[in-house]
């Protein structure tokens, strides 16, 4: 098994980069990509742990792209020579995420929710604060029963306490990923909330812009949709990747090394990284 989409405490995952690698090894994985949100901070630690463990490490990042109506994330995979433009973009996006988090807390406090940014920082520890941490705090405050309910009622796009963070445009994101020797993949396309007709038009646009591949296989998508995405991606000549989007205990529904339908991610998907 392999996994081409995971998160550590360098963004909003539950495990440190080295602990994530240890989990991968104990789970039988032979290759692992670390793709933290807007962050490159965990790559050195994870890469060292993977080297010691004897498994292939794929340095990566997940970047949020400006898009409506859904959410657009771009995976930069196999970053072989990270350059300053990508570092600068990650720093800018991380600062925007911090501003967004503070704005969400302010909105909650304005509606008499007993929440404090210091509590949120303590909950997240040394890592980047993300909406899953806000959801977890709302559960602990008994505002909602589950973290999913927190997203469904309050934090997801279009909900009362959703605040959009500043994103970068797709051409810039592709450029900084490519500049660092990486490959640009559209993550979990079903989160775009685009019709299949619009997706086909987007695939055409992405091909012209230089997108390398599509993450056709993701645990939040139905098997039938993953199969269709896989076929359409290959029709357009895109590389096809698969991931678990593993976060650890903060998102227990996602299993390391497994994707849609709880299917193991086979080594054949490493072909999407071939140069």
Kindly state whether residues 181 and 196 are assigned to the same domain. Answer: yes
109 and 115 Cβ atoms separated by less than 8 Å = yes
> Residue 249: its pLDDT value, please?
86
* In-domain check, residue 184: yes
- Inter-helix orientation angle 170-179/196-209, to 10°: 50
The residue range of the domain holding 123 is 92-155
Kindly state whether residues 7 and 81 are assigned to the same domain. Answer: yes
Q: For residues 100-107, give the mean pLDDT.
A: 95
Q: How confident is the model at residue 147 (pLDDT cuts 50, 70, 90)?
A: confident
Question: Residues 6 or more apart from 218 whose CB is under 8 A from it?
Answer: 5, 187, 188, 190, 226, 242, 243, 245, 259, 260
Q: How confident is the model at residue 166 (pLDDT cuts 50, 70, 90)?
A: confident
Task: Tell me the pairing of strands 183-186 and 72-77.
Answer: antiparallel
Kindly state whether residues 239 and 172 are assigned to the same domain. Answer: yes
CATH number of residue 108's parent domain: 1.10.150.650
- Looking at the predicted structure, is the pLDDT value of residue 68 above 70? yes
For the chain, percent of residues with pLDDT exceeding 70 = 100
* In-domain check, residue 160: no
Listed residue (57, 74, 62, 72) closest to 38, CA to CA:
62
- Looking at the predicted structure, is the pLDDT value of residue 71 above 80? yes
d(CA 116, CA 83): 37
User: Is the four-CA dihedral 26, 220, 215, 95 of positive or negative sign?
Assistant: negative
Secondary structure of residue 77 in the 3-state scheme: strand
Kindly state whether residues 81 and 107 are assigned to the same domain. Answer: no
Kindly state whether residues 141 and 228 are assigned to the same domain. Answer: no
Q: For residues 82-95, give the mean pLDDT.
A: 95
- Looking at the predicted structure, is the pLDDT value of residue 127 above 80? no
d(CA 9, CA 190): 25
Listed residue (156, 39, 170) closest to 98, CA to CA:
39
Length of the chain, in residues:
275
Q: How confident is the model at residue 252 (pLDDT cuts 50, 70, 90)?
A: confident
- Looking at the predicted structure, is the pLDDT value of residue 151 above 90? yes
Kindly state whether residues 74 and 17 are assigned to the same domain. Answer: yes
For residue 56, the 8-state DSSP code is E
- Looking at the predicted structure, is the pLDDT value of residue 23 above 80? yes
Kindly state whether residues 51 and 182 are assigned to the same domain. Answer: yes
- Of 94-98, 180-184, 193-197, 230-234, which gets the smallest average pLDDT? 94-98
Residue 181: both structure tokens together: 């020797």
Q: What is the pLDDT of residues 218-227, one digit of tens each?
A: 999 999 999 9
Domain count, the chain: 2
> Residue 250: its pLDDT value, please?
77
Task: Tell me the pairing of strands 183-186 and 31-34.
Answer: unpaired
CATH number of residue 54's parent domain: 3.20.20.140
- Looking at the predicted structure, is the pLDDT value of residue 126 above 70? no
> Residue 218: its pLDDT value, please?
98
> Residue 59: its pLDDT value, please?
98
> Residue 165: its pLDDT value, please?
84
Residue 1: both structure tokens together: 């098994």
d(CA 66, CA 185): 15
d(CA 125, CA 9): 8
Kindly state whether residues 174 and 264 are assigned to the same domain. Answer: yes
Q: How confident is the model at residue 132 (pLDDT cuts 50, 70, 90)?
A: confident
63 and 76 Cβ atoms separated by less than 8 Å = yes
> Residue 15: its pLDDT value, please?
94
Average pLDDT of the residues of the chain: 95
- Looking at the predicted structure, is the pLDDT value of residue 34 above 70? yes
């Amino acid at each position: 098994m392999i996994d081409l989409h995971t998160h550590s405490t360098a963004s909003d995952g539950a495990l440190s980069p080295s602990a994530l690698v240890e989990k991968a090894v104990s789970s039988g994985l032979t290759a692992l990509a670390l793709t933290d949100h807007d962050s490159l901070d965990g790559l050195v630690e994870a890469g060292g742990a993977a080297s010691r463990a004897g498994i292939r490490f794929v340095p990566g990042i997940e970047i949020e792209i400006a898009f409506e109506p859904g959410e657009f994330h771009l995976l930069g995979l196999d970053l072989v020579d990270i350059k300053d433009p990508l570092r600068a973009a990650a720093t800018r996006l991380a600062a925007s995420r911090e501003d967004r988090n503070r704005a969400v807390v302010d909105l909650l406090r304005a509606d008499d929710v007993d929440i404090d940014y210091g509590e949120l920082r303590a909950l997240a520890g040394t890592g980047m604060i993300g909406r899953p941490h806000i959801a977890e705090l709302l559960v602990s405050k008994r505002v909602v029963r589950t973290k999913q309910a927190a997203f469904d009622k309050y934090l997801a796009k279009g909900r009362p306490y959703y605040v959009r963070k500043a994103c970068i445009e797709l051409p810039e994101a592709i450029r900084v990923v490519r500049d660092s020797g990486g490959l640009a993949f559209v993550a979990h396309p079903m989160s775009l909330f685009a019709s299949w007709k619009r997706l086909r038009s987007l695939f055409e646009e992405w091909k012209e812009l230089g997108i390398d591949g599509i993450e056709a296989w993701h645990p939040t998508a139905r098997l039938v949709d993953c199969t269709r995405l896989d076929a359409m991606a290959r029709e357009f000549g895109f590389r096809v990747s698969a991931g678990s989007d593993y976060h650890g205990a903060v998102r227990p529904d996602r299993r390391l090394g497994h994707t849609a339908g709880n299917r193991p991610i086979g080594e054949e998907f490493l072909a999407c990284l071939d140069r």
